[in-house]
Structure 1
Amino acid sequence: MTGKHTGTRPPTSKDVAALAGVSQSTVSFVINGKSVVSEATRKRVEEAMRKLNYQPNAGARTLKTNKTNIIALFVEMNETFDANETTPYIDAVVKLARKHDYDVIINTTHEGSMALRRLAGKSICDAFILMDIQRNDERIPTAAELNTPVVLVGRPDNALGLDVVDFDAREAAYLAVDELADTGHRHIAMVGNTLGSNGDEFRFSNEFFSGAHERADQRGLDFIIVPRLVEGWEGIRRSTDQLLQHVDDRLGIIVRQPQPTEWLLRALSERGLVPGRDLSVVSHCSDLSATSFQWPVTNVSTRPEEVSNQAMTVLFDRLHGSTAAPHCDLIEPTGITRRATTIDWNTR
């Protein structure tokens, strides 16, 4: 390689070509993903770009390739938003996008299909990932009409031919109940949705609750779902009496998501109860969250990185021209991790 960019001006494709020992047209081919360039040459050019911190002109690249190298991620964020639950999904999407030289813009508005139409109409992104998919999500008909790859994270009742990636919440519920059954518990109380909310709105929530009830019946355990009277910490605090009605008879509590898990542990602490000594707690949350609490919590991981990685893999397949049949990929739980909040009554 010969030549090296010096000085304060931004590096150009000519500087990259000189450092890599190739022509400027070859640099252009690499930037635009043309297959006429050998793998060895492509690596030389990419190494030169890295050394010079060269950034291709996005506007010029868009004109040449009709691509923006931007993915739009739609994710729900509001006053009840649980950052510990959602952030791992976002981080995984952004990291994988950068590996493919894509950037991510995050849309958190509540405009639904209107925001989708607006972004698509501006032609500022090459593909969409829609999270927090409801069973009858009003964005889906609009998404299905776009001439742009779209992946849904969450299963609707009708995906209208769009690709879907989701987590198998029913299997996760089976694992949570089996953990308590196998360790000699007699009663299971599950922290439910807020009273008056639509429990069928999201398929994963409905399947987790119904799966837990089904498995408890199969294993012969007494089972109750305790709804929260109001949102937030107050909802957990006011539900604690009902959750603990069998605390003296081998009780296990199952809870979804990091924030309600934290609130439950706080409510138990206020009553002088220690999970793993007085009762058991099993959470459906990420491993990172499970190990961050006052007591490391036994959990079935939501596997956020794997869900996002699969969604991005499907998306890039479409961006690269795949015409395969629509995906409906279920990410399976890998098991349950027993931590400090499980009592094994069989050994007592």
Structure 2
Amino acid sequence: MRIDDDGVGRGTTVAKTPTSADVAREAGVSQSTVSYVMSGKRPISEKTRQRVEDAIARLTYEPHAGARALAGHRTSTIAVVMPLRQASGAQRLMTFVEEITLAARARDHDVLLVTADEGPAGLRRVAGRSLCDAVVVMEVGSSDERVRLARSLALPVVFVGIPDDREGIHCLDFDFAGAGELLVAELAGLGHDTVDVLGWGDDVVAQDFNYVPRFAEGARRAAAAHGVELRWHEPDDERGREAVLDRVLGGARARSAAPGLVLTAAIPETLRALSERGLRPGRDVDVVALATDAEGEAYGLTAVPTEPRDVSRRVMERVFALVDRHGPSAGGAELVPARIVRRGSTRQA
């Protein structure tokens, strides 16, 4: 190959980006057939569809997302609405996002992150501009103002959470009420007549996240069923946790009883505070927790795992069923059941 003075190689071939017309020629079909295969707007025989898909693979054809949106086709994008600033549970939320992204990519879809700070305006914007095929809304409030808007949108919206007003919307979440019930029942079964819950701090409670009252409802239900006194604490910071632990441990010593603790947040910090006081879970104190599987295994906790990956997979199954118009259009709520995994942080009954 000769290089001229202008630095351009003469006789070289510049690779051309394949177009839908190239795909049509390669597959031996019309360009409109290629369009119908990609959009799903008209039924195409399986044999013809396979020819087109094989041609797309051979040519490594990538349709332009903006052009497809303008043509009324799918955007191959799923929007995920999540808080920009996370009061707690950042790792849990990122596990959700990771699993949602994996499920989207498995279906050749991209993920568009939308900040929850925009409120209903964010939903209205992505729907009005046809930026996505569906929306997943995370960190749902008990009284969530986005619910009413979701009912009026033409594209599917799936809530990861169970708001109080759930009529006609699609929502899916972990069974937090069942988790609260299991954890309190576990301590009651170990002989505790008093259970102390170190719950979420005011920073989380103030945001009205729906899982907080649901967990509390289950815990209270179990306490009533087993005749257990339930004491709820909401420490905001390290100093607050220290003060709560001092009160709980002091009261337990006065009753000559080992304390029973339920942890929902700041798990490593609370375990460290117990260790600094010379207390070992499973020997001096019974500790159960609402945690991810990874946290439970890392700290040897008897725990109810929150199943973020299972929830995310089910959410995306619902999303694509709606996008493909195979899912129930009337809405509905689904809960991933709670289960308890026993480890060394509790004594044997």
Distance 1:43 1:197 in 2: 50
Q: Does 1:191 align with 2:198?
A: yes
Name 1:254's counterpart in structure 2. 262
Closer, same or farther: CA 271–16 of 1 in aligned 2, 3 Å: farther
String of CA shifts for 1:105-151, please: whole Å, max 9, x gaps.
11124121122222222221122111111121122222222222111
The reply to whether residue 328 of structure 1 matches residue 336 of structure 2 is no
**Cα 1:243–1:199 shift into 2, 3 Å:** farther
How far apart are residue 190 of structure 1 and its match? 0.5
Q: Which has the larger radius of gyration?
A: 2
Match of 2:319 in 1: 315
Determine which of 265, 270, 274 is the counterpart of 1:264. 270
What count of residue pairs does the alignment treat as equivalent? 332
Q: For 1:120 and 1:215, how far apart are their aligned partners in 2?
A: 42
Equivalent residue for 2:115, pick from 93, 108, 112: 108
The answer on whether the counterparts of 1:200 and 1:206 sit within 8 Å (CA) in structure 2 is no
1:253-294 deviation digits (Å, cap 9, x = unpaired): 11114xx112211211222222122212111122123223xx
Which residue of 2 is the match for residue 3 of structure 1? Answer: none
Q: Residue 71 of structure 2 aligns to a residue in which SS?
A: helix
Match of 1:243 in 2: 248
Name the counterpart of 2:288: 282
**Is residue 89 of structure 2 the alignment partner of residue 85 of structure 1?**
no
SS at match of 2:234: strand
Whole-angstrom CA distance in 1 between matches of 2:212 and 2:43: 49
**Residue 76 (structure 2) pairs with residue 69 (structure 1):** yes
Answering whether residue 156 of structure 2 is matched by residue 149 of structure 1, we say: yes
TM-score by length of 1: 0.83
Change (3 A) 1:114 1:200: closer
Flag the 1:107–1:236 CA change in 2: closer, same or farther, 3 A.
farther
CA distance in 2, matches of 1:196, 1:77: 15
Deviations 1:12-45 (A, max 9, x none): 55666677x5546454443333664444554565
Letter in 1 for 2:283: R
Which one of the candidate residues 126, 130, 141 is aligned to 1:134? 141
TM-score for the superposition, normalised by structure 2: 0.83
**Counterparts of 2:45 and 2:209, CA distance in 1:** 47
> What is the rounded CA distance, in whole Å, between the counterparts of 2:55 and 2:268 in structure 1?
48
Change (3 A) 1:299 1:35: farther
Relative to structure 1, the CA distance from residue 222 to residue 65 in structure 2 (aligned partners, 3 Å threshold; closer, same or farther) is same
Structure 1 unmatched ranges of 5 or more: 1-5
